[in-house]
Structure 1
Amino acid sequence: MVRHASLFSQIVGFFDRNQFARLVSNHDAERNAKGFKCWDHFVSMLFCQIAQAKSLREISGGLASANGKLRHLGMKQPPSKSTLSYANQKRPWEMYRSLFYETLVKCQALAPTRHKFRFKNKLLSLDSSTISLCLGLFPWAKFRRTKGAVKLHLLLDHDGYLPSFVHITTGGTHDVTVARNLNIAPESIVAMDRAYNDYKLFCRWTEDHVHFVTRTKNNAAYRVVATRAAPKNRNIISDEEIEFTDKKSYEKCPHRLRKIVVFDKDNDRHIELLTNHMTFGATTVAAIYKDRWQIELFFKAIKQNLRIKTFVGTAENALMIQIWTALIAMLIIKFLQAKSKFGWSLSNLVAFLRWNLFTHRDLWAWIDQPYDVLPLEPMSVQLMLPFT
């Protein structure tokens, strides 16, 4: 007797069909649709991510091999390659972006966590990652003369390390261009790398009471206006308040900032940090910048465990759908990881899910005890193997 639907069916059940139907209606996503519904399309692309299907053929074939279990997914039959390809080209990718943000709100509500620091400020990390593309196959994503690329811009919330903002652009878009358009709540703290050095942005954030921690430019011209005592027996070399002396820099940011020099023992180097937060201890500021590494780990995890480096379609719309579906899948995987008592690494959880997608187990019992062997059900008829 089958007591539970497949693990994949229970994962798909995380999404509210009524909310999904509302998104379909809002984006008019099923206009001129003939049989292949948006729900079927979404389940197929989610299967592509979790099962790590490399092509339309593998998506179609993988679902077809589980044809008897598709009704639990809300599907009547697996899609053909041509049907799935057409949907990837024509269905609005914006619907998947909306689904991502609705899923994010649900994950934050069901698995609330706080960052590891004592302060109550919202802590965020801002960064981008380039996804290289073949210019011959993706001519719309021209990056350099012989290369194509898209850029994944991401604002990571350290409460649960979930992305709170995502923006996808072509590879030539500068990181600061995206940062200037962000609306960040006052008293938030944004950790970012040197690529986001923009004095006008620093000035606006300071006036809006948004704090930042980043690295200084190598050629920054400034004068020290005050020196703070560095904590003893720590890796803090100096703690100074500065003002820019270059005329253009000062006009862009006339505010007093803080420069902290930290010794990085692991790499035997000095790191110069720049911040507009004047009350935190220097060691706290250094720890905030160190925790920025979590956004690098997020990019590494999504590139290694999901399908955003190889694509099943070459159209811009198809690529956007695949990336947004990967982000949705990452939300679900990190949610399962947070709720589990087993202590999964993210890569192991993705691998075990891929191997057991159509296993009939209770999902919540499985993520806590994946190695448990269920007792065999009694059989009414003994099977006889013909040895003769």
Structure 2
Amino acid sequence: MINLNLFSQIISKLERTSFKKIVSKKLTDKHQKGYDSWTHLVSMLFCQFAKSQSVRDISNGLRSATGNLNHLGIQRAPSKSTVSYQNKNRDWTIFRDYYYQLLWGLGQQSGFKQRKFRIKSKIFLLDSSTISLCLSLFDWAKYKTHKGAVKMHTLLDYDGNLPAYVNITDGKTADNKGAYDVPLLKGSVIVADRFYNDFSLLNVWDSKGVYFVIRHKDNIKFRTIRENELPENRYENILKDEIIELTGNTSKKKYSKRLRRIAIWNEENQQVIEVITNQMSWTANTVSELYKSRWQIEIFFREIKQLLHIKSFIGTSENAVMIQIWTALITILVLKFLKEISKYGWQLSNLVAFIRLNLFVKIDLQKWLDKPFDEPISRLEIVRQGVLF
């Protein structure tokens, strides 16, 4: 008989030593009285898994698990005022740093992989997503006259569809401006939409040895140096492959090197998509498929907004919002890890829903992940005993 509920077993997957090191470095447990950083993390993860709508839901939900709290590594369920106070005051960066630590740890264990391209470069997808907020409650989140918002500038690792880097700014920050802080890995390729067609930004990437595949704007000024011959067995969606040079006075100063321009026919939307890249040796179809893979980041944004608690917030301070966003990212990482180690073909939406329904059920996590619809062994044994007597 399993004595641990599903939530306790999920929390046990988290590596606590690295979290303690982060807490020790940030001194976030200094002068704390019972509600330490680990209890705070568990509380906010419960908020995400249970989709709690308020601090009262978090407090009452954890209180209902009395007797199992020690398995979560916490002493007692926090009061709603305690959760609210610490969301406002505890340094949110410990959750950000722990996310990156888990990304390296759980990602290595599970071996997240996607369909491989025939290139050795690491693939990253770049985009941003706006999270709307009520300006009257979140007065620090400037966006429009009567609207507030924060923007998640996200660099998504193609393997595993998990953020390798997230920069959270106010809603006013333009996509290209939020991308200047993105860490660059030499030899990697960044795939992005036209909002990142900033030639100063592209010049920085190129100077750092990073390849890019960017959809260019319609008003780009250029001259064709030469047209690359399209092979006879080419894919019909490749319309043009050419080497160009920018001719606009401003753009040429920002990016003086030659670029490769590829025109692609998009059958689904019945339109021509034109992209530019600084990679001259890959086939035009590889570049086309790379840009097509950009849709994965849109799927990621949809997943976190629909499946997790990120569209409404239990605290109104900037610190509370940052904590809730980063614990949502930790949750999506854990969910994808569980999906990866499972033998059952889970859809992420189904996995989230089933965990939410069985959060405090005492059943072996791995067996439940592998065979979620099998009847528990203990129940079968009870039935057999009834037959014998």
Q: Residues 18 and 202 of structure 1: is their aligned pair in 2 closer, same or farther, counting only changes over 3 Å?
A: closer
Residue of structure 2 aligned with 1:303, choices 299, 305, 312: 305
Match of residue 321, structure 1, among 320, 323, 328: 323
Equivalent in the alignment of 2:70 = 71
2:169 maps to: 169
Q: Quick one: structure 1 residues 16 and 107, their matched pair in 2 at CA, closer, same or farther if it must change by over 3 Å?
A: closer
1:207-226 equivalence runs, <5 A = 207-226=207-226
AA aligned opposite 1:38? S
* TM-score computed with the length of structure 1 as normaliser: 0.95
Q: How does 1:130-145 map to 2 (within 5 A)?
A: 130-145=130-145
What is the number of equivalent residue pairs in this alignment? 379
Q: Deviations over 1:52-87 (max 9, x none)?
A: 111111111111122122221122221111111011
For 1:236, give the aligned amino acid.
Answer: I
CA-CA distance at 1:233 after TM superposition? 4.4
79-88 or 20-29: which moved more? 20-29
Kindly indicate whether residue 16 of structure 2 is the aligned counterpart of residue 14 of structure 1. Answer: no
Q: Look up the equivalent residue of 2:282 and give its one-letter code.
A: F
Identity among equivalent positions (%) equals: 47
For the 8 Å contact 1:115–1:123, the answer to whether it is kept is no
Which residue in the other structure is 1:183 paired with?
183
Residue in 2 aligned with 1:237? 239
Aligned partners of 2:271, 2:287: CA distance in 1, in Å?
Answer: 17
Correspondence for 1:385: none
Instruction: Trace 1:190-339 onto structure 2 (pairs within 5 A).
Output: 190-231=190-231, 232-339=234-341
How far apart in 1 are the matches of 2:310 and 2:58?
15
Residue 30 of structure 2 corresponds to 31
Paired amino acid for 1:371:
F
Aligned to 2:128: 128
Asked if the contact 2:154/2:167 (under 8 Å) is kept, the reply is yes
Please give the alpha-carbon distance, in whole angstroms, between the structure 2 residues aligned to 1:230 and 1:55.
59
- Residue 4 of structure 1, CA deviation: 4.2
Structure 1: gaps spanning 5 or more residues:
383-388
TM-score, normalised to structure 2, is 0.94
Task: Check conservation: 2:169, 2:178, Cα contact below 8 A.
Answer: no
Aligned to 2:377: 375
- Which amino acid counterpart does residue 315 of structure 2 have in structure 1? G
**Residue number in structure 1 paired with 2:108:** 109
Counterpart residue type for residue 248 of structure 2: D
1:16 counterpart letter in structure 2: E
Superposition map of 1:53-72 within 5 A: 53-72=52-71
Secondary structure at 2:310's aligned position in 1? coil
Amino acid corresponding to residue 361 of structure 2 in structure 1: T
SS of 1:88's equivalent?
A: helix
> Counterpart of 1:358 in 2: which secondary structure?
coil
Deviates more, 1:109-118 or 1:318-327: 109-118
Assess if the C-alpha contact under 8 Å between 2:123 and 2:189 holds in 1.
Answer: yes
Over 3 Å counting, the alpha-carbon distance change for 1:217 and 1:79 in structure 2 is same
Stretch moving more, 58-67 or 217-226: 58-67
SS in 2 for 1:202: helix
- Deviations, residues 231-276 of structure 1 (Å, cap 9, x unaligned): 4342111111100111111111111101111111111111111111
Cα deviation digits, residues 95-150 of structure 1 (max 9, x gap): 11111111111122101244421211100001110000000000000111111000
8 A Cα contact 1:104 1:331, kept in partner: yes
Distance in 2, Cα, partners of 1:17 & 1:210: 35
- Structure 2 residue aligned with 1:386: none
C-alpha distance in structure 1 between counterparts of 2:27 and 2:124, whole Å: 34
Query: How far apart are 1:19 and its partner, in Å?
Result: 2.3
1:6-56 Cα deviation digits (max 9, x unpaired): 111111111223322222111111122112121111111000001111111
Secondary structure at the counterpart of residue 141 of structure 1: coil
2: distance between equivalents of 1:199 and 1:31? 46
Counterparts of 2:204 and 2:78 in 1: how far apart (Å)?
50
Could you give the per-residue CA deviations for residues 366-387 of structure 1, whole angstroms, max 9, x where no partner exists? 11111111133678xx9xxxxx
1:353 CA displacement: 0.7
- Give the Cα separation in 2 of the matches to 1:143 and 1:289: 29
- Report the secondary structure of 2:41's partner residue: helix
- Supply the AA of the counterpart residue of 1:135: L
- Alpha-carbon spacing, 1:373–1:328, altered in 2? closer, same or farther (3 Å): same
2 CA distance for matches of 1:115 and 1:376?
Answer: 38
1:346 pairs with one of 336, 345, 348: 348
State the SS of the aligned residue for 1:329: helix
Q: Structure 1 residue 183: deviation in Å?
A: 2.7
Which amino acid in the other structure matches residue 212 of structure 2? F
Amino acid across the alignment from 2:169: T
Task: For residues 255-302 of structure 1, give each alpha carbon's deviation from its aligned partner in whole angstroms, at most 9, with x where no partner exists.
Answer: 110111111111111111111110111111010000011111001000
